[in-house]
Amino acid sequence: MRIGELADRAGTTPRALRYYEARGLLPARRDESGHRAYDEDDLRLLREIRRLQDIGFELEETRPFVECLRSGHAQGTDCAASLAVYRRKLTEIDALIARLGAVREEIAARLDGTTPTAPRCGRTPGKD
């Protein structure tokens, strides 16, 4: 299939596919006319990339999953390198959750310490 069809089937753009190709995530095959040529395996790679990006992975973080599929595995998670990325991502997410929890507690504490008659920032009481 050509680049436009692959982009349509994967819900992305030809420009994104060219970018993935430049980054080495999609193969750079050409047909006898010089047009980019893709197959169902490429669609599968692209769907894996898109699925991972949809849940917050950076493009480069998808590489181990793509390489796992390219090496013939049924799932992008069948390889140790992919599982390592998942573990690292969970650690990052846990750290973000902890940080957000701390920020939430700080904001809640500040709200608990305010009074309804406190002036708004930048305003002089009685000058509204």
pLDDT digits (tens, 9 = 90+) for 77-123: 999 999 999 999 999 999 999 999 999 999 998 998 865 555 566 65
User: What is the rounded distance in angstroms from the CA atom of residue 18 to the CA atom of residue 36?
Assistant: 9
| DSSP-based three-state secondary structure for 45 | helix
Could you tell me the residue range of the domain that residue 10 belongs to? Answer: 3-112
Q: What is the per-residue pLDDT for 1?
A: 93
Examine residue 97 and state whether it is found in any structural domain, yes or no.
Answer: yes
- Bigger pLDDT: 42 or 124? 42
Examine residue 57 and state whether it is found in any structural domain, yes or no.
Answer: yes
User: What is the rounded distance in angstroms from the CA atom of residue 128 to the CA atom of residue 125?
Assistant: 7
pLDDT value at 25 more than 80: yes
Examine residue 68 and state whether it is found in any structural domain, yes or no.
Answer: yes
- Bigger pLDDT: 74 or 115? 74
Q: What is the per-residue pLDDT for 113?
A: 84
Examine residue 125 and state whether it is found in any structural domain, yes or no.
Answer: no
Examine residue 27 and state whether it is found in any structural domain, yes or no.
Answer: yes
Examine residue 39 and state whether it is found in any structural domain, yes or no.
Answer: yes
Which residues make beta-bridge pairs with 36?
A: 30
Which residues make beta-bridge pairs with 30?
A: 36
Number of separate domains in the chain: 1
CATH number at residue 15: 1.10.1660.10
User: What is the rounded distance in angstroms from the CA atom of residue 63 to the CA atom of residue 56?
Assistant: 14
Examine residue 32 and state whether it is found in any structural domain, yes or no.
Answer: yes
Examine residue 128 and state whether it is found in any structural domain, yes or no.
Answer: no
If you search the block for the tokens 């750290």, which residue do you land on? 95
Joined together, the tokens standing for residue 24 give 């080495």
Kindly state the average pLDDT of the residues 19-35.
92
In tens, the pLDDT along 4-18 reads: 999 999 999 999 999
